[in-house]
Chains A and B, each alone.
Chain A
Amino acid sequence: MKRFGWLVVALVSLGLLSGCGSTPKTGVEGDQAGLEAGKDGKGLGRVGGNSSNLNDPSRQGAGSYHYDVNVEPEHRVYFEYNSALINDRAAQVLAHNAGWILAHGPKGTLTIEGHCDERGTREYNLALGQQRADAVVHFLVAQGLPANRLKAVSYGKERPLVPSHDEAAWSKNRRGEIVLR
């Protein structure tokens, strides 16, 4: 059930996040990132949900992600070690991305990249990166982006964002990226 864990996380996050920032900080804090998200407190309210996720019974009453749809979000979310779960912080960023892309983004196909830190084997990380990219796709689709516009690609540990070899680098390299070009 790991793949669907983000649903649970997303629901939990609704209770925690009442006024989320429009430009989330990068998730250096790892699994604390979600708790940090509320501090910006700008709360420029737009309900990120839409008809498609309202039709999903697991998301009834959900959809209270707050962001400014006119502010471009960071197109990147971070994961915990050996995990493909969308945490609170990532859920907020992805909801913002979905709203922003629908309003202002490109109209064609978007590539969703899944990336891992350098620890672990190449093949396992390719699979884990795929799980991460797929989790981001599922979340964006639930937020209203058409599935046929999203293509998930795993890069495993091949494309680190930060080249050094410590937790600070690894926490930025475990990521999902929405490629707009």
Chain B
Amino acid sequence: MASTTLACPVRLAGGVSARPGWVWCRWLVLLVGVFGLGLSSAWAGGIRIDITKGGLTPLPIAVPSFVNLGADGQIVASGTMGGQLSEVVTADLERSGLFRPINRSAFLQMPDTLWRTGPQYKEWRVIGAEAVVSGATRQEGDQVIVDFFLYDVFQGTLIGKGKRFTASSRNWRHVAHRVADEIYTRLTGETGYFTSRIAFVAQKGGSKLLAMMDQDGANRVDLTHGENLVLTPRFSPDGDNLFYISYETGGTRIFRLDLIGGGHTLQGDYPGLNSAPSWSPDGRRMALTLSKDGNPEIYSKELGSGQLSRLTNTTSINTSPSWSPDGQKIVFNSDRAGSPQLYIMSSGGGEPQRITFDGKYNSSPSWSPRGDLIAFVHGGGGRFRIAVISPDGKNMRVLTDSWMDESPTWSPNGRVILFSRQEGSRSQLYSIDLTGYNERLVPVGGDSGGSDPSWSPLIR
């Protein structure tokens, strides 16, 4: 897919391309405020459960239907693509919790005139919109072309430049997610995460299968069909491959699934446990757990040569390795001190540093792609909840409150954590902002439950 920055149309001469200071400042304050809350509660000593909902005021934004253009570039009355695109954009922004899309029935200016003449700012101000999106789409052969502009209603200016995305028609949802990513980035200063996928284990009846879908739950595909138990898919850093566990040879074995070419290959057949595969950020190594030498230990395997190096050496359980984004360190789970706790070691092995001391069950760590936080499962009082902690062991915060939450995985921008929650005998996927706000069910389609999520990198 291609994207280009559009020159401002003539009608918009005078529009500024810089991000308006007003909107930016407002968001900076908002984000700092939220982070400040987390920090101060940690400094106050003890854990604070940041699950108070509604502490954040989402930005009111208007996303009218995108107009459909004919070959001559003129607006045509027929066509459904424009409306579908804007619905996907709206849903993305709403789900992030940072935006409040305004109900379209309140709009005073119609999409046609918005596209042709630009915003009548007063009409958007009246309904409380602080930003408005204007978009258009047309078909060119098998290609869908989408142009969009984002405006600051109070400043009366463009935010950034107009932008064009081109893709094959069947990838139209991807184009919509690109638009949503752009809007998110321009209004928050952070990279978006809407052009990403989720691999997970779907529960269908009594069987488990490997599945993948867009981050919003669309375009689900089943990658296995339930004939063998499968667990813990993990995306490669390029998003093109998955490691996962399958019992198809009779025990826990790690396989690699090629999402582009198809086909799956066994990644070693060591006696005993083969589990917890984790790609290094450069894609060249896999950290994994093997029990071939007597008890579950963490190894690093060079994927090219197949050479194994052992990273831990205890008589206890060591598992769930997760790499720091620079590839220098690995956080993992060990019960060497009598209960499962988190430790950080060099990715080449060596003496680890324990980072969790609160509670008797800290497990399943996942290092944020931003590097600043580690999400994990914190057990206590008969409940297992998602928490985050700094790599130096400070600022632990518990984000969720249920009895069995697990398998945290980060959005590509390190802002949102996806996890699975057991409800009765089945699991569902949920997402939550790293501040502890905006917990949401992530539907996986059909009557399936979902667990073991892995969030892909951005897909461009």
Contact = CB atoms under 8 A, between A and B. Distances in A.
Interface residues on A, range: 20 to 34
Contacts of A2: 315-316
B252 A126 contact: yes
A123 interface: yes
Interface string A134-173: 1000000000000000011111101000010100000000
Interface stretch (A47-55, A59-67, A72-80, A113-121): A113-121
Contacts of A111: 250
Contacts of B49: none
A3 B294 contact: yes
A22 interface: no
Given A127-B275, A134-B272, A121 B315 contact: no
Given A121-B384, A153-B250, A126 B319 contact: yes
Contacts of B275: 123, 126-127, 154
Contact of A127 (B208, B317, B361, B377): B317
Contacts, number: 101
Contacts of A130: 252, 272-273, 291, 296
A127 B384 contact: no
Contact of A131 (B245, B296, B339, B363): B296
Interface in B244-259: 245, 247, 250-252
Nearest to B425: A163
B337 to A, nearest CB: 12
A128 interface: yes
Interface residues of B, number: 43
B406 interface: yes
B295 interface: yes
Contacts of B375: none
A152 B208 CA distance: 22
Interface in B404-452: 404, 406-407, 422, 424-425, 451-452
A121 B452 CA distance: 10
A128 B400 CA distance: 25
Interface in A6-39: none
A153 B232 contact: no
B457 interface: no
Contact of A152 (B229, B247, B272, B379): B272
A165 B291 CA distance: 29
B333 interface: yes
A124 B339 CA distance: 11
A84 to B, nearest CB: 9
A104 interface: no
Given A152-B272, A153-B252, A123 B379 contact: no
Contacts of B316: 2
A121 B363 CA distance: 7
Contacts of B319: 123-124, 126-127
B93 interface: no
B236 interface: no
28 contacts: A2-B315, A3-B295, A3-B315, A82-B339, A111-B250, A119-B379, A120-B384, A121-B320, A121-B333, A121-B364, A122-B231, A122-B232, A122-B452, A123-B232, A123-B276, A124-B317, A124-B320, A124-B363, A126-B231, A126-B276, A127-B296, A131-B317, A134-B291, A152-B272, A153-B247, A154-B251, A154-B273, A158-B208
Given A3-B315, A121-B407, A123-B319, 8 more contacts: A118-B422, A119-B382, A122-B406, A126-B289, A130-B252, A130-B273, A131-B296, A153-B247
6 smallest A-B Cβ distances: which pairs?
A: A127-B296, A130-B273, A121-B364, A153-B251, A127-B317, A121-B363
